[in-house]
Amino acid sequence: MERRWLMKDVVLGTAVLSAGVLPYGLARILAPGSARAERNYLRPPGALKDDAAFVSACIGCGLCGEVCPPRCIRFHSRDGGGAVNTPYIDPEEKACILCDKCMEACPTAALAVMPRDEIDMGLADIDETACYPWVDRGICGACVTICPLGERAIGFDFANIYRPLVKQGCVGCGLCVEVCPHPSKPIWIVDRTEETGGKARG
């Protein structure tokens, strides 16, 4: 008789425990992606362009972040939903320097090794209504000076040598975003297919 009551207690306790834990487990599995602004959210260089394919190919090993010299690669945790453990870069915090090490370290097809000028992380877009030189609030040029690709990616307006202009050679590394001194960051990285306010020239 006692054994039967013991079994009932065990079954009841297991059921109660399962019911209590289930919401937390489901919440983790079904966690929505964070409400992250699209404007400075980049995958590492060489990433598959289709983000669903990238998430599927990435195994979350973390090697890309381990070999990254500037430590700009971060990883989604519980904010990532189905993209948990996948890498991303927020250039407002720390930008990519195009060193190629993450592409070489990736053991899957998530990041492919490619020449620097074929990388496509996006395209820098300058809000000409906020950029200091464009609104005659001073001389800057930090974005032009820092660019690892030089004149083929960003230069100065021919009519006004202090106003920066993004060119089609930009690969979207985000260094210009990181160094921009304006508090509202009037330069950001957008998808190359999007219409940009600053209009990439050349």
SS3 state of residue 67: helix
**Could you tell me if 75 and 127 lie in one domain?**
no
**Could you tell me if 107 and 42 lie in one domain?**
yes
Q: What is the residue-level pLDDT of the chain in tens, covering all 202 positions?
A: 555 555 555 556 555 545 444 443 443 344 444 444 455 689 999 999 999 999 999 999 999 999 999 999 999 887 656 788 999 999 999 999 999 999 999 999 999 999 999 999 999 999 999 999 998 888 899 999 999 999 999 999 877 778 999 999 999 999 999 999 988 889 999 998 765 555 555 5
The answer as to whether 60 is a domain residue is yes
User: What's the domain count of the chain?
Assistant: 2
The answer as to whether 7 is a domain residue is no
Which pLDDT does position 193 carry in this prediction? 79
Which pTM does this prediction carry? 0.75
Which pLDDT does position 21 carry in this prediction? 41
Instruction: Name 35's Cβ contacts closer than 8 Å, sequence gap at least 6.
Output: none
**Could you tell me if 42 and 107 lie in one domain?**
yes
Whole-angstrom Cα distance, residue 177 to residue 143?
A: 7
- CATH code, domain carrying 153: 3.30.70.20
The answer as to whether 164 is a domain residue is yes
Instruction: Name 146's Cβ contacts closer than 8 Å, sequence gap at least 6.
Output: 175, 176, 178, 179
> Which of 88, 115, 142 marks a domain boundary?
115
**Could you tell me if 50 and 107 lie in one domain?**
yes
The residue segments making up the domain with residue 186 are 122-190
